[in-house]
Amino acid sequence: MEVNPSEITIRPYKASDVDDFMVYAGNDNVTRFTRWHTFTSRNEALTYMKESCIDHPFCRSICFRDRSIGYISITPQPGDGQCRAEVGYALAAKYWGHGITCKALRVAIRDVFVKFPQLVRLQALVLMDNKGSQRVLEKVGFLKEGVLRKYSWHKGDQQGLDDLPSLLISKSQPEDSSRISLRPFKLSDVHDFFSWASDDRVTKYLRWNTIASKEEALKYLQEVAIPHPWRRSICLDGKSIGNVSVKPKSGNDRHRAHVSYALAMEYWGRGIVIMAVTKSL
């Protein structure tokens, strides 16, 4: 079926959503990876909605033409954990594969950081064999942090502890764009440049090899980065944390240019590269 993205919205639940809620909450294919069991009655679903959705600090119905087709919950943690929140979601099976969850999550993430300014981190636990959910989270900027083995029962079933390890996937609060700037490289950037240019995880997909020493880093800045026709240091509060380059072609290809970039791994998932590339174009 065709779904117009402009018709996808999120909003708080209403008791009148119960019949639409039952369509997906009563489907074993949908609830297979959720923390709650499949609902078998309308009354059971209504009670759950009132107690766990409507009264939730941030639970939203994913809507198509204002009809509930799924949900997103983002739960801030208490006490010293109030800087982070747990993310969960589900979508009616007939709407899978249309990018709906990604769109709804992007809106929810934007809204929750505004509603709860103390948040700096969102995280989700995803069962290893839930590949679809892993792809959704990666598309909206979450990063895999590790595998949690024997971490939690799945719906009260101890038998699943060994068979269903969970991935910990997280996303940090988007960086304030006013703190991100671009400028030409300087020789004094050598220490900051070396800190990320020597990281194999950063250079894995670059055309240049991992920098092995500060001397090599200084030579690269002198001979490649600084003389480059348009290579800029991506800076956070003035500190070099990455680079973006736009290299015009020559001759009959002078109407186009090649764009490349890299960012220190500790800053991945904050939207910094998107800000930097946008500023450079």
Helices (H), the chain: 18-25, 28-31, 42-48, 100-115, 131-139, 160-163, 190-197, 200-203, 214-220, 272-280
Question: Would you say residue 162 has pLDDT above 70?
Answer: no
Average pLDDT over residues 218-246: 95
Please give the share of the chain, as a percent, with pLDDT higher than 70.
93
Specify whether 147 is located in the same domain as 217. no
Res 191: pLDDT: 97
Nearest-angstrom CA–CA distance, 63 and 21: 11
Specify whether 161 is located in the same domain as 47. yes
Query: How many residues would you count in the chain?
Result: 281
Res 160: pLDDT: 46
pLDDT digits (tens, 9 = 90+) for 235-279: 999 999 999 999 888 888 888 899 999 999 888 877 788 888 888
Specify whether 11 is located in the same domain as 147. yes
Specify whether 166 is located in the same domain as 200. no
Average pLDDT over residues 32-56: 94
CA 122 to each of CA 66, 127, 171, 172: distance values in angstroms, whole numbers, following the listed order: 26, 17, 5, 6
Specify whether 236 is located in the same domain as 100. no
Question: Would you say residue 138 has pLDDT above 60?
Answer: yes
Residue ending a domain, among 121, 138, 172, is 172
Question: Would you say residue 37 has pLDDT above 60?
Answer: yes
Q: What b/e sequence results for 89-111 when a residue is b if at least 16 CB atoms lie within 10 Å of its CB, and e otherwise?
A: bbbbeebeebebbbbbbeebbee
Residue 174: pLDDT band (50, 70, 90) is low
Residue ending a domain, among 155, 172, 189, is 172
Specify whether 148 is located in the same domain as 94. yes
Residue ending a domain, among 106, 139, 172, is 172
Specify whether 31 is located in the same domain as 162. yes
Res 161: pLDDT: 45
Res 157: pLDDT: 60
Question: In the chain, how many domains are there?
Answer: 2
Looking at residue 247, which CATH number applies to its domain? 3.40.630.30
Specify whether 92 is located in the same domain as 206. no
Specify whether 125 is located in the same domain as 182. no
Question: Would you say residue 166 has pLDDT above 70?
Answer: no
Domain extent, residue 159, equals 5-172
Average pLDDT over residues 210-217: 96
Specify whether 115 is located in the same domain as 55. yes
Question: Would you say residue 140 has pLDDT above 60?
Answer: yes
pLDDT digits (tens, 9 = 90+) for 67-124: 999 999 999 999 988 889 999 999 999 999 999 999 999 999 989 988 998 888 899 9
Question: Would you say residue 169 has pLDDT above 70?
Answer: no
- Name which residue leads in pLDDT, 64 or 176: 64
Specify whether 121 is located in the same domain as 44. yes
Locate 175 and state its tokens.
């960086």
Specify whether 230 is located in the same domain as 162. no
- Of 135, 145, 73, 59, the C-alpha closest to 102 is 135
Res 86: pLDDT: 93
Res 159: pLDDT: 42
Mean pLDDT, the chain, whole residue set:
89
